[in-house]
Amino acid sequence: MNKITFRNTLPLIFAGERDLQSDIWLQDFSLEKGNNYLIEANSGTGKSSLCSYIYGYRDDYSGDIIFNNVNIRRFKARHWDKVRNTEISLLFQELCLFPELTAFENVLLKNNLTRYKENRQIHEMFDLLGIGNKKDSLVEKMSWGQQQRVALIRCLCQPFDFLVLDEPISHLDDENASIAAVLLQREASQQGAGIIATSIGKELPLEYTKTFAL
């Protein structure tokens, strides 16, 4: 996938709202593979809704979202499986880890499906992000910042054209946020992929092609 296009898109919950000021809602624009985009938002402006629309598990919006030249409303479940396995990787704001499994087991759940990373590469990412000693810890025993790094590793265990990151460093200090940014940019650049990152005040430290105010 090379391009994600929005045409007059708006969450249904905002229908009829007056004086809506947004660079995204009710606008026509495209996000292109290989570029980095920052979406700055206040709470309640539809940030996580936007991510869920791109990932295809919600469709409560008006207007159109188009992947390359195809409206995503035409996609069947099988097509979405392909998109989520090979074209779009998503870091959920809620992380969506399994608390009863270890950090490493959570990552392997995805990598066993994709076979994208070798185990040594996964170990290297754990070490790089400073949680190499937490691989065998139950997620429920880990801090939120540690869990956030586990979820980052998991979302890199697949091929993608776009990496969608919903508040990826909200619980990381500046040093760990910078380390995470280096890893994410490295992985995206290796695939020629684009990064779409959201923020409500703490932004992933990358060079951005464009910043949108949601």
In a domain, 66, yes or no: no
Domain assignment of residue 144, yes or no: yes
* CATH number of the domain bearing residue 41: 3.40.50.300
Write out pLDDT tens, residues 63-83.
999 999 999 999 999 999 999
Please check whether residue 47 lies inside any domain of the structure: yes
Within a domain: 56 = yes
Domain count, the chain: 1
Quote the domain boundaries for residue 113: 36-60+85-213
Residue 187: name the closest of 80, 108, 72, 91 by CA: 91
pLDDT band at 19 (very low <50, low <70, confident <90, very high): confident
> Residue 70 domain-assigned?
no
> pTM for the full model?
0.95
Average pLDDT for the chain: 96
Residues 174-193 have pLDDT tens digits of 999 999 999 999 999 999 99
Give a yes or no: residue 65 inside a domain: no
Residue 194 lies in a domain: yes
Residue 114 belongs to some domain of the structure? yes
